[in-house]
Amino acid sequence: MTKKRALITGITGQDGAYLSKLLIENGYEVHGVVRRSASADLVCSRLIWLGVADETVLHDGDLTDLSSLIRILDSVKPAEIYNLAAQSFVKSSWQQPYLTGLVTGLGVTNMLEAMRLVCPEARFYQASSSEMYGQVQEPIQSEKTSFYPRSPYAAAKLYAHWMTINYRESFNLYTLNGILFNHESPLRGIEFVTRKITDGVARIKLGLSDELSLGNLEAKRDWGHARDYVKAMWMMLQQDQPDDYVVATQRTTTVRDFCTLAFSHVGLKADDYVRVDKRHFRPSEVDVLLGDASKAHDKLGWKAETTLEEMVAEMVDADLVRVQQKEHL
């Protein structure tokens, strides 16, 4: 029997790696779009970490290069497209607003156009984000909550979100958005606050550092585990009708409390090591996010499986090993 084919943009990122593993376990042939890098040896480090690098087929392409996307879709002919590629770091989006708009916003239009022209029968997942809620208009955010983006990243994601809906309504394509709240893992980029904290805890515990410099400790996020969240992406694309879904744990925690959990996992007190540095603050902040995932629970049967405490322990333990072994990730 021929395997179902999936194409993942952003396959080298955190979610791309976990999604590849899930799809391979579910019997898919997994293809990915990879942009050219001068550090090619590091590009697949997450896929290697999860033991799936040899089972994925990679294609050279870039979200900003429409012809590369057309060529890849034409040769792969995927049944499912997961569009995860983005300039995804919010803080950088103020330093590179045009690039963020080009990749995270217009890049999605390129993917949608390529799909419309080459494989209109495919199913398309767009990685929308809780950042679009920004200055929240309701204390708990659902699919019905209005958006109020607070960064160039969020504004670009909001454009992409509506383009995905527009292609569904204009051309009757199977396209949908997963509005995912923050999700983390040992494969999270080191610049994001959770991984910065768990890496910092490991370095302090091993005597390689004596402080951790952070920005706004009062910001609150609804943090889940990437491994659970990629399952929701897949479940969305298995529904008869395309629709948009919020994916969240329904619990919100401050950066300060995340620090407390991470330090206490190795028997240390966060207050003894965490320093606040104004340089890590943002021009405008998203103070609090808390998602209502009832629609995903009711219609997809999806539920977050990993608790925050379990995830923090997994991340700190992984960073202790990595720091000891001088591994780069």
Beta-bridged to residue 33, according to DSSP, are 9, 59
Residues 25-54 that bind ligand NAP (CB under 6 A): 33, 35, 37
219 contact choice in ligand NAP, ligand F7E, none (CB below 5 to 8 Å, kind-dependent): ligand F7E
Judged on CB neighbours under 10 Å (0-12, 13-18, 19+), 92 is middle
**Which residue from 291, 183, 297 is spatially nearest to 229, judged by alpha carbons?**
183
- In 3-state terms, what secondary structure has residue 51? coil
Helical axes 14-25 vs 226-237, angle rounded to 10°: 60
* Closest CB to ligand F7E: residue number: 219
Residue closer to ligand NAP (CB basis): 272 or 287: 287
Contact window for ligand NAP (CB under 6 A) among 13-21, 47-55, 114-122, 286-294: 13-21
Do 258 and 197 form a contact (C-beta atoms < 8 A)?
yes
Q: Which of 20, 28, 29, 131 is catalytic?
A: 131
Q: Is 43 exposed, middle or buried (0-12, 13-18, 19+ CB in 10 A)?
A: middle
153 is annotated as an active-site residue: yes
Nearest to 69 by CA among 103, 28, 29, 115: 115
318, two tokens: 């992984």
Any catalytic annotation for residue 131? yes
DSSP assignment letter at 236: H
User: According to CB under 6 A, which residues from 110 to 149 bind ligand NAP?
Assistant: 127, 129
- By CB under 6 A, tell whether 228 contacts ligand NAP: no
The secondary structure element, H or E, covering residue 220 is strand 220-221
Dist CA 182 CA 291 (whole Å): 10
Per-position x/- string for 231-270, each x denoting binding to ligand NAP as judged by CB under 6 A, each - no binding: ----------------------------------------
Whether 129 is catalytic is: yes
| Single residue of 55, 62, 143, 257 touching ligand NAP by CB under 6 A | 62
Per CB under 6 A, which region of 59-67, 140-148, 169-177, 276-284 contacts ligand NAP? 59-67
User: Residue 105 CB, nearest distance to ligand F7E (Å)?
Assistant: 13
Decide: 79 and 4 in contact? Cβ < 8 Å. Answer: yes
List the single partner that 63 binds among ligand NAP, ligand F7E, none, CB under 5 to 8 Å by kind: ligand NAP
CA distance 296 to 243: 10
Sole binder of ligand NAP in the list 182, 198, 252, 253 (CB under 6 A):
182
SS3 for 272? helix
Q: How far is the CB of 1 from ligand F7E (least distance, A)?
A: 37
**Which residues are marked as active site?**
129, 131, 153
Binding site for ligand NAP (CB under 6 A): 9-10, 12-16, 33, 35, 37, 62-64, 84-88, 103, 107, 127, 129, 180, 182-183, 189
